[in-house]
């Protein structure tokens, strides 16, 4: 028997209602905030991620699903959404219709990591990207949307960590201070950080290794080196978050260790889900569009991991779900009535009802059991005696109330009864 690849999940019919629920909330809220959906390909040219994610990141160094297609091009299953969305923004000249351009996406991402609880090789993200404004109130809006989504799906306890990583200007100065602190401690860093030290010292803040975490615990933070403009921007972001009533914790060691990330950086964490406690993160990337060959257009966004959101909801008492409850199951008591059952089913569905029937010619008792297990709200029982008078029995499974209704008017009757219920 062939099983699914390691680090992937099947979403079974019983679980898919949870996905509908959270995806629907993501779509509705995004629209409310003025973000429109964009769907980019699942694979892209490898170069997009080398440049757009950065070749000193774990993602690019160790985690990409890269392959050659039949004509020898190097392609990569997308490990994240920002670079593809920025690529599409540029490729289709979306700025021409007027800035800002506010986009969201929902879909699978692929990273070759070591699978564990909350870490998969195929996982799903809900993300937004807003291009074209450096305004700190937009930073606050993006954070507000992430927080509003978590609240809308029912998450009760989570923390928002906030920082500013400055701009290339303030980072230049910080880099020198950081290097003079780190170089004497080089031997205490993990091999990867040692190798990347000169190229990207900020990245060490991102490293999960215990030894590196100890080293950065007393390292000079970027926040203490912010230039006056970046400091003011950060101050204003905090002011707008205050206006919006959003609580946050300042976390000077929170960075996104890449050059094109600027100013606001944030992360959303839920302690209850264990080691992989980050359910989402985001920030400004004022240098990305230019890096990909466009004009210097600023951007800001976030990405939330939906499997981790579901894990967090389960840890906090359960996930609301949109389940398929059948409106009506058509039950026939004799195979002679099969044609009547088939045509009635078609009528019920045409009337907009969720309807089904038994396809195994089971006994009446077995069909009733099937209706309960489905679960269905009502059954229509076609019996020879009633049908000889053009009638059928409609039974409500919850109340047990049973009525005899003309066969020709069953859908009408059920629709009326549903209206009464609502
Ligand atoms: P990142 O793009 O690394 O900032 O990730 C954003 C969010 O995506 C994280 O906070 C996680 O919730 C989720 N995520 C990232 N990598 C994985 C993974 N391998 N498995 C499941 N979720 C992930």
CATH of the domain at 18: 3.30.930.10
Instruction: Say if residue 252 is in the same domain as residue 382.
Output: no
Instruction: Say if residue 249 is in the same domain as residue 363.
Output: no
Query: Which of 226, 300, 228 has its CA nearest to residue 260?
Result: 300
Q: Residue 246 has what DSSP assignment?
A: -
Domain of 132, in residue numbers: 13-167+227-315
Instruction: Say if residue 256 is in the same domain as residue 336.
Output: no
Instruction: Say if residue 46 is in the same domain as residue 140.
Output: yes
CA 5 to chain centre: 21
State the distance from the centre of ligand 1 to the C-alpha of 125, rounded, in angstroms.
Answer: 8
- Indicate if ligand 1 lies below 6 Å from the C-beta of 18: no
State the distance from the centre of ligand 1 to the C-alpha of 123, rounded, in angstroms.
Answer: 8
- Indicate if ligand 1 lies below 6 Å from the C-beta of 257: no
Which residue's alpha carbon is nearest to atom 2 within ligand 1?
A: 80
State the distance from the centre of ligand 1 to the C-alpha of 226, rounded, in angstroms.
Answer: 28
State the distance from the centre of ligand 1 to the C-alpha of 305, rounded, in angstroms.
Answer: 5
pLDDT digits over 317-359, tens only? 888 887 778 999 999 999 999 999 999 999 999 999 999 999 9
Instruction: Say if residue 152 is in the same domain as residue 263.
Output: yes
Q: Residue 313 has what DSSP assignment?
A: H
Q: Considering the domain boundaries, does residue 393 fall inside one?
A: yes
Which residue's alpha carbon is nearest to atom 16 within ligand 1?
A: 119
State the distance from the centre of ligand 1 to the C-alpha of 416, rounded, in angstroms.
Answer: 47
- Indicate if ligand 1 lies below 6 Å from the C-beta of 307: yes
Q: Considering the domain boundaries, does residue 215 fall inside one?
A: no
State the distance from the centre of ligand 1 to the C-alpha of 178, rounded, in angstroms.
Answer: 27
Instruction: Say if residue 255 is in the same domain as residue 399.
Output: no
Quote the tokens at residue 109. Answer: 């991402």
Q: Which atom of ligand 1 is nearest to the CA of 127?
A: 6
| Number of domains the chain is built from | 2
Which stretch of DSSP H or E encloses residue 376? Answer: strand 376-382
Instruction: Say if residue 91 is in the same domain as residue 163.
Output: yes
Instruction: Say if residue 246 is in the same domain as residue 333.
Output: no
Residue 257: per-residue pLDDT: 57
Which residue's alpha carbon is nearest to atom 17 within ligand 1?
A: 119
State the distance from the centre of ligand 1 to the C-alpha of 26, rounded, in angstroms.
Answer: 17
- Indicate if ligand 1 lies below 6 Å from the C-beta of 123: yes
Q: Considering the domain boundaries, does residue 176 fall inside one?
A: no
Q: Which atom of ligand 1 is nearest to the CA of 267?
A: 10
Each residue's pLDDT, cut to its tens digit, for the chain (422 residues) gives 999 999 999 999 989 999 999 999 999 999 999 999 999 999 999 999 998 887 777 888 889 999 999 999 999 999 999 999 999 999 999 999 899 999 999 999 999 999 998 999 999 999 999 999 999 999 999 999 999 999 999 999 999 999 999 998 888 888 888 889 988 988 999 988 888 888 888 878 888 888 888 988 889 998 888 999 999 999 999 999 999 999 999 999 998 756 678 999 999 999 988 877 899 999 999 999 999 999 999 999 999 999 999 999 999 988 888 777 899 999 999 999 999 999 999 999 999 999 999 999 999 999 999 999 999 999 999 999 999 999 999 999 999 999 999 999 999 999 998 887 66
Which residue's alpha carbon is nearest to atom 13 within ligand 1?
A: 305
- Measured CA to CA, the distance from residue 67 to residue 77 in angstroms comes to 9
Instruction: Say if residue 34 is in the same domain as residue 163.
Output: yes
- Measured CA to CA, the distance from residue 76 to residue 110 in angstroms comes to 9
Instruction: Say if residue 77 is in the same domain as residue 103.
Output: yes
Quote the tokens at residue 75. Answer: 């392609």
């Amino acid at each position: 028997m062939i099983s699914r690849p390691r680090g992937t999940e099947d979403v079974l019919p019983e679980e898919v209602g949870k996905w509908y629920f959270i995806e629907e909330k993501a779509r509705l809220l995004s629209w409310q905030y003025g973000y429109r959906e964009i769907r980019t390909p699942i694979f892209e040219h490898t170069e997009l991620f080398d440049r757009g994610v950065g070749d000193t990141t774990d993602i690019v160094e160790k985690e990409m699903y890269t392959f050659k297609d039949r004509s020898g091009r190097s392609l990569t299953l997308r490990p994240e959404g920002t670079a593809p969305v920025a690529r599409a923004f540029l490729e289709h000249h979306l700025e021409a219709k007027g800035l800002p351009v506010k986009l969201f996406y929902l879909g699978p991402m692929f990273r070759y990591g070591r699978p564990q609880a909350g870490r998969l090789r195929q996982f799903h993200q809900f993300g937004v990207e807003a291009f074209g404004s450096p305004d700190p109130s937009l930073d606050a809006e993006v954070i507000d949307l992430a927080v509003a989504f978590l609240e809308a799906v029912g998450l009760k306890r989570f923390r928002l960590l906030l920082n500013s990583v400055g701009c290339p200007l303030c980072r230049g100065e910080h880099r020198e201070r950081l290097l003079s602190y780190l170089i004497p401690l080089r031997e205490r860093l993990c091999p990867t950080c040692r190798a990347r030290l000169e190229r990207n010292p900020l990245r060490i803040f991102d490293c999960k290794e215990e030894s590196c975490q100890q080293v950065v615990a007393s390292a000079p933070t970027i926040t203490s080196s912010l230039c006056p403009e970046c400091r003011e921007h950060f101050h204003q972001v905090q002011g707008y978050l205050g206006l919006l009533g959003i609580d946050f914790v300042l976390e000077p060691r929170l960075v996104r260790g890449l050059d094109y990330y600027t100013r606001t950086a944030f992360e959303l964490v839920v302690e209850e889900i264990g080691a992989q406690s980050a359910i989402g993160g985001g920030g400004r990337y004022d240098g990305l569009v230019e890096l990909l060959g466009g004009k210097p257009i600023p951007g800001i966004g976030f990405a939330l991991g939906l499997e981790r959101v579901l894990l967090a909801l389960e840890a906090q008492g359960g996930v609301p779900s949109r389940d398929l409850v059948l409106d009506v199951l058509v039950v026939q008591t004799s195979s002679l009535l099969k044609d009547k059952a088939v045509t009635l089913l078609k009528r019920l569905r045409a009337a907009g009802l969720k309807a089904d029937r038994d396809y195994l010619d089971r006994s009446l008792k077995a069909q009733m059991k099937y209706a309960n297990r489905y679960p269905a709200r009502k059954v229509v029982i076609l019996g020879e005696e009633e049908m000889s008078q053009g009638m059928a029995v409609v039974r409500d499974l919850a109340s047990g109330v049973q009525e005899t209704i003309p066969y020709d008017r069953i859908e009408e009757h059920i629709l009326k009864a549903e209206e009464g219920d609502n």
